[in-house]
């Protein structure tokens, strides 16, 4: 009789490792399967890790985890071709315990995070691809892997295999994602001495800075660019919906080059030494794209369940939180000896009752609205830039006259009614 586990977790990213950790900590026999050479070897993230959901798995993780810098400043840039408007927040309280966010390099962080699950008793096997779920009488009873004699059995299989979850798709939990439900993102890690990073971003010691960049960075397509400071490197990247990339006929690496050479960005990174180039999909379908989350003997977590809040660039935290919620449901199912869809249903209700379901519901129409009304990115951001330029240019024009001219420039293209409609629509999808 082949070996049987209580739980098999497919994928050792933040979702899978969090789930494996909590299950193992509660005495379940857990197998964590990763296709990469080691956890993180195949994983990509801009780099912001959230304290709360990580701490829920490993208390005070910052004392031992391979984090880069605690983020003390969040900047938002709205780019035109040769200008930008900016806003943000910097707070020294974020430089101290318990901190807020951190920058991390996933290849290092994921290895460490999976090791914490192993320390709790989970068995991790790398370089093993799960090919399919084994089913019997409408119930998932294990997984088929690419190893010789590779069938392994469990009461519950957790699908944490990331954005393009072929396993959930093959179970009929979701269809092929549409191009407007995923973003394609390209990024580089640029090596740079710590002192230079601190001087350029106005940082002290190990403080970190995150910059989210909108407007011309994506050449009018729905998406964002980013710059995050590591200890002695900078992560820079850009992504747009796949539909946007198809429409604009721009290739991801061309867009990244464009961003790196933008006059507002170039001074920060021009002499950075390329260390890594990465590209990956991000699930951006939001609330409407969440697939079926539980079945008989199976649950879907993290990116595989499309749990990403693109507007707040939250993904790793939702992955960990969903992993924990799935683990709690599995522990309960074990106590009741009921691994049916009904027996695991508390996972689904936990997701929709938590910040994950509530936040994704709040922004459920945002992507579609901004994608079908491109004026928000390619008309209003340039208008905001020109308005700021006019207002701050001291040329002897009285301020009231300037204000009137600026108001006219906003209504000239779309009319007063059009602008009012745009404002109302934006408020409705963001409220
Ligand atoms: P993943 O991290 O994708 O892990 C899935 C794992 O499953 C991988 O290790 C993979 O190798 C393994 N796997 C897949 N298929 C199989 C199989 N068949 N058999 C065995 N193993 C398998 N989120 C943030 O919170 N902050 C950010 O700053 C941020 N920036 C981002 C920037 C970019 C460019 C991208 C692409 C994403 C970003 N995200 C960010 C999102 C974040 O990376 C994801 O939400 C998060 O990684 C999801 O974790 P996961 O464990 O669900 O999936």
DSSP code of residue 216 = G
Question: In whole angstroms, how far apart are CA 31 and each of 19, 119, 161, 297, 322?
Answer: 11, 13, 14, 15, 18
Around ligand 1, the residues with Cβ closer than 6 Å are 10-16, 33-36, 39, 42-48, 129-130, 160-162, 185, 187, 237, 239, 280, 282, 302-304, 308, 313-317, 319
Instruction: Give dist(CA 16, CA 190) in Å, integer.
Output: 29
Model pTM above 0.80: yes
ipTM for the whole predicted complex goes beyond 0.95: yes
Which helix (H) or strand (E) is 117 found in, with range? helix 106-119
Instruction: Give dist(CA 358, CA 421) in Å, integer.
Output: 26
- Those residues whose C-beta lies under 8 Å from the C-beta of residue 137, and which sit 6 or more positions away, are none
Do residues 225 and 265 both lie within one domain?
Answer: yes
Do residues 154 and 234 both lie within one domain?
Answer: no
211-267 tens-digit pLDDT: 999 999 998 889 999 999 999 999 999 999 999 999 889 999 999 999 999 999 999
Do residues 9 and 114 both lie within one domain?
Answer: yes
Could you tell me the residue range of the domain that residue 190 belongs to? 179-283
Within a 13 Å sphere around the CA of 137, how many CA atoms are in the beta-carbon half? 1
Q: Domain total for the chain? A: 3
Instruction: Give dist(CA 171, CA 129) in Å, integer.
Output: 17
Do residues 188 and 233 both lie within one domain?
Answer: yes
- For residue 305, the cross-strand partners are none
| Ligand 1 atom 36: residue of nearest CA | 280
| Ligand 1 atom 26: residue of nearest CA | 48
Mutual orientation of helices 355-362 and 345-353 as an angle, nearest 10°?
60
Report which of 176, 183, 185, 370 is spatially closest to residue 291, judged by C-alpha positions: 176
User: Helix, strand or coil for residue 331?
Assistant: helix
pLDDT in tens, the chain (431 residues): 567 999 999 999 999 999 999 999 999 999 999 999 999 997 888 899 999 999 999 999 999 999 999 999 999 999 999 999 999 999 999 999 989 999 999 999 999 999 999 999 999 999 999 999 999 999 999 999 999 889 999 999 999 999 989 999 999 999 998 999 999 999 999 999 999 999 999 999 999 999 999 999 998 889 999 999 999 999 999 999 999 999 889 999 999 999 999 999 999 999 999 999 999 999 999 999 999 999 999 999 999 999 999 999 999 999 999 999 999 999 999 999 999 999 999 999 999 999 999 999 999 998 888 888 888 888 999 999 999 999 999 999 999 999 999 999 989 888 889 989 999 999 989 88
Residue 374 lies in a domain: yes
Expressed in angstroms and rounded, the spacing between residue 380 Cα and the centre of ligand 1 is 33
Question: In whole angstroms, how far apart are CA 206 and each of 190, 191, 203, 316?
Answer: 17, 16, 8, 22
Instruction: Give dist(CA 106, CA 342) in Å, integer.
Output: 35
Do residues 371 and 423 both lie within one domain?
Answer: yes
Q: What is the CATH number of the domain that holds 265?
A: 3.30.9.10
Do residues 10 and 147 both lie within one domain?
Answer: yes
C-alpha 415: how far from chain center: 37
Question: In whole angstroms, how far apart are CA 27 and each of 5, 20, 53, 339?
Answer: 12, 11, 21, 17
Do residues 157 and 188 both lie within one domain?
Answer: no
Expressed in angstroms and rounded, the spacing between residue 375 Cα and the centre of ligand 1 is 31
Chain position carrying tokens 């938002």: 76
Expressed in angstroms and rounded, the spacing between residue 315 Cα and the centre of ligand 1 is 8
Q: What is the CATH number of the domain that holds 149?
A: 3.50.50.60
Most distant CA atoms of the chain, gap in Å: 88
Residue 146 lies in a domain: yes
């Amino acid at each position: 009789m082949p070996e049987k586990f209580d739980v098999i977790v497919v994928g050792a990213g933040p979702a899978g490792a969090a789930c494996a950790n909590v299950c193992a900590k509660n005495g379940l026999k857990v197998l964590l399967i990763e296709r990469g050479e080691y956890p993180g070897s195949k994983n990509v993230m801009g780099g912001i890790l959230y304290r709360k959901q990580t701490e829920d798995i490993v208390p005070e993780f910052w004392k031992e985890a391979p984090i880069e810098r605690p983020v003390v400043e969040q900047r938002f840039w709205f780019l035109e071709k040769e200008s930008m408007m900016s806003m943000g927040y910097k707070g020294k309280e974020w430089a101290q315990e318990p901190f807020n966010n951190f920058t991390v390099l996933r290849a290092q962080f994921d290895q460490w995070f999976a090791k914490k699950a192993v320390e709790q008793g989970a068995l991790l096997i790398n370089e093993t691809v799960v090919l399919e779920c084994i089913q019997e009488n409408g119930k998932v009873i294990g997984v088929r892997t690419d190893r010789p004699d590779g069938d392994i059995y469990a009461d519950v299989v957790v699908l944490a295999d990331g954005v393009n979850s072929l396993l959930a798709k093959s179970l009929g939990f979701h269809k092929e994602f549409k191009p407007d439900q995923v973003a394609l993102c390209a990024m580089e890690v640029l090596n740079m001495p710590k002192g230079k990073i601190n001087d350029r971003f106005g940082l002290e010691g190990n403080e970190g800075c995150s910059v989210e960049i909108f407007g011309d960075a994506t050449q009018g397509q729905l998406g964002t660019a980013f710059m995050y400071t590591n200890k002695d490197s900078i992560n820079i990247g850009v992504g747009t919906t796949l539909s946007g990339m198809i429409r604009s006929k721009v290739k991801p690496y061309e867009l990244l080059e464009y961003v790196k050479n933008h006059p507002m960005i170039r001074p920060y990174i021009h002499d950075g030494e390329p260390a890594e180039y990465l590209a990956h999909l991000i699930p951006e379908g939001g609330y409407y794209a969440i697939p079926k989350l539980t079945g008989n003997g199976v649950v879907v977590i993290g990116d595989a369940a499309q749990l990403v809040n693109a507007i707040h660039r939250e993904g790793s935290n939702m992955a960990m939180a969903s992993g924990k919620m799935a683990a709690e449901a599995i522990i309960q199912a074990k106590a009741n000896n009921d691994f049916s869809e009904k027996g695991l249903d508390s996972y689904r209700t936990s997701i929709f009752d938590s910040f994950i379901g509530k936040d994704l519901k709040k922004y459920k129409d945002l992507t579609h609205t901004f994608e079908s009304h491109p004026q928000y990115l390619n008309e209003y951001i340039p208008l905001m830039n020109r308005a700021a330029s006019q207002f701050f240019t001291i040329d002897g024009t009285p301020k009231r006259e300037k204000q009137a001219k600026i108001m006219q420039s906003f209504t000239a293209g779309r009319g007063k009614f059009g602008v009012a409609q745009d404002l109302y629509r934006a408020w409705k999808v963001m409220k």
